[in-house]
Amino acid sequence: MNQLDHVLLACFLLFFLASTDHAHADERPNFVLIVCDNLGYGDIEPFGSTLHRTPNLNRMAEEGRCFRHFYSVAGVCTPSRAALMTGRYPLRVGLARTPRDGAVLRPLSPYGLDPAVTTIADLLKPAGYVCALIGKWHLGDRPKYLPTRQGFDLYYGIPYSDDMTQETGRRLGRRYDGFRWPPLPLMWNEHVIEAPVDRTFLTQKLTAAAVRFLRQHCDQPFLLVLAHAMPGSTSRPFASPPFQGKSRNGPWGDAVEEIDWSTGVLLAELDRLGISKRTLVIFTSDNGAPMTGKPGDLSRGSNGPLEGRGYTTAEGGFRVPMIARWPGRIPPATTSDELCTMMDFLPTLAALTNQPLPEEPIDGHDIRPLLFGNGRSPYRYLLYYYEDQLQAIRAGRYKLYLPLSSPKRHPHFRPGKPTRPLLFDVVNDPGCRQDLSSRLPDVVQRLSELAESARL
């Protein structure tokens, strides 16, 4: 070979290597997880809302699959997000309850997600993924617990709930060291860039940051977690001026409809960038809507037709909407009634990227057969904890509330009152209106034994 041949061969090899590398990069799917705060099962049209208008989520459901038995595995924010990040029951990572803060972390918390525990971002990083957490974190606000220390390359958002403001802290006084709470910070990586953040524009800002991230990283595999702060924990959620007063359900509806708009913006951006066919998009919520408890009043959301309120182990507290869209992979306009949970994201993302699972025990499952085919639920049972108290178990169609000597914030039991097992068929009676315990004592017995053996 002469010198020119060598150069040509080198060029060919370089071109060949570059093109195979590119082809390989294309096989690695992108992941977009959109997680709302306190959005209820009955708050969006694909799950039965006739009050809020959610045309973009309707379109997402038409292009994807709705999961009607998807569980957040906690009634409140911090443990639910721990499950999402780690694939494990929150109790296993010490975030079911903490001594100072109780059920959820409060500002200036001494606690947080142990950085040694593998998160979805830690898992994907070795596979060449760039990972962003945009929005609400709520797994520890000290620097060592922030997303930037948990595998995320970028963090932009608020470190805890939108109601944990300086004013709220002053009202709480010594409770949770409220008098020390700072103005609600908007953070860029580990720096506060605005405090107090104007919550009116939060959904707009998070959406704009998410779009910027997609544009910057559309040529490499990425994980984007867009964790909305809305509709959130205040009695009057926030929305930007174009959405204020536009829904038929006050501030709650305005915030939900702005989230719907935001989802449409992201899906359109994925289409525009030409990456929809290699991007799995999930839309869900961290727990059920708080609701007001007054019949017919949906000013703090709806979990209909499910039983009960958010922040509890009621079906309406734990079961949340979930829509998955991946054109070409997920059959469009389909539904699944198989039980799956927030803990399944980590093992499923591991399977989709051929990454090994962490050595710690994982409670979630690889749900690819549920996403892409007609697979059955991999769960033998689901545990419903309130903080560290096991209150209920579901196996198959039945949910058993266990008798408790001192029930904490319970959908059915009051402290000091005697309790007995309550059994519901949550497939045919999602409102849990008919107690089957006396008719099906053998089922009560079986689930009681299962709960004792499965208790963490």
Active site residues: 77, 138
Q: Quick check: 150 and 141 in contact, CB under 8 A?
A: no
Which 3 state secondary structure label does DSSP give 130? strand
- Largest pairwise CA distance in the chain: 94
Shortest gap between Cβ of 276 and Ca ion (angstroms)?
29
Q: How far is the CB of 93 from Ca ion (least distance, A)?
A: 17
406-415: long-range contacts, CB 8 A cutoff, minimum separation 24:
409/311, 409/312, 410/312, 410/313, 410/386, 411/307, 411/308, 411/309, 411/312, 411/313, 411/314, 411/317
Binding to Ca ion in span 158-177, by CB under 5 A: none
263 vs 269: CA distance, rounded Å: 10
Does position 286 bind Ca ion by CB under 5 A?
yes
| Block residue for tokens 């045919």 | 428
- Beta bridge pairs of residue 32: 224, 281
- DSSP summary character for residue 113: -
Q: In the numeric block, which tokens belong to residue 279?
A: 């991007």
Stretch that binds Ca ion, among 24-32, 105-113, 278-286, 354-362 (CB under 5 A): 278-286
One symbol per residue from 372 to 411: x for binding Ca ion (CB under 5 A), - otherwise; what is it?
Answer: ----------------------------------------
Between 258 and 366, name the residue whose CB sits nearer to Ca ion. 258
Are the C-beta atoms of residues 187 and 193 closer than 8 Å to each other?
A: yes
In angstroms, give the least distance from the CB of 319 to Ca ion: 14
Nearer of residues 286 and 344 to Ca ion, judged by Cβ: 286
Residue number with CB closer to Ca ion (290 or 347): 290
| Residue 254 engages Ca ion in binding (rule: CB under 5 A) | no
Using alpha carbons, select from 37, 61, 49, 38 the residue that is nearest to residue 322.
Answer: 61
Q: How far is the CB of 287 from Ca ion (least distance, A)?
A: 5
287 binds Ca ion, rule: CB under 5 A: yes
- Please pick, from the candidates 30, 33, 34, 37, the single residue that binds Ca ion as defined by CB under 5 A: 37
Q: Is the dihedral of CA 105, 185, 317, 235 positive or negative?
A: positive
For 383-428, the three-class secondary structure string (H helix, E strand, C coil) is: EEEECCEEEEEEECCEEEECCCCCCCCCCCCCCCCCCCCEEEECCC
Question: Which amino acid is residue 22, in one-letter code?
Answer: H
CB-based closest residue to Ca ion: 77
Q: Which stretch binds Ca ion (CB under 5 A): 116-124, 190-198, 281-289, 338-346?
A: 281-289
Interface residue with Ca ion, options 38, 240, 247, 312 (CB under 5 A): 38
Using rule CB under 5 A, residue 285 touches Ca ion? no
Minimum CB–partner distance for residue 26 and Ca ion (Å): 36
- Which lies closer to Ca ion via its Cβ, residue 37 or residue 254? 37
- Asked if 234 is part of the footprint of Ca ion (rule: CB under 5 A), the reply reads no
Of 222 and 311, which has the nearer Cβ to Ca ion?
Answer: 311
289 binds Ca ion (CB under 5 A): no
Size of the site for Ca ion (CB under 5 A): 5
Binding residues for Ca ion restricted to 42-81, rule: CB under 5 A: 77
Q: What is the DSSP letter of 303?
A: -
The set of residues, in sequence order, having a beta carbon less than 8 Å from that of 106 and lying 6+ positions away, is 100, 160, 164, 176, 177, 178, 181
| Nearest residue (CB) to Ca ion, 78 versus 240 | 78
Q: Does residue 276 belong to the site contacting Ca ion (CB under 5 A)? A: no
Smaller CB separation from Ca ion, 58 or 299: 299
Segment contacting Ca ion by CB under 5 A, of 20-28, 36-44, 320-328, 421-429: 36-44
Q: Show the beta-strand stretches assigned E in 240-386.
A: 279-285, 322-325, 334-336, 340-341, 382-386
Give, as ranges, the residues between 292 and 331 that touch Ca ion (CB under 5 A): none
Helices (H), 126-279: 166-172, 202-217, 250-273
CB of 142 to Ca ion, least distance (A): 21
Q: Which residues bind Ca ion (CB under 5 A)?
A: 37-38, 77, 286-287
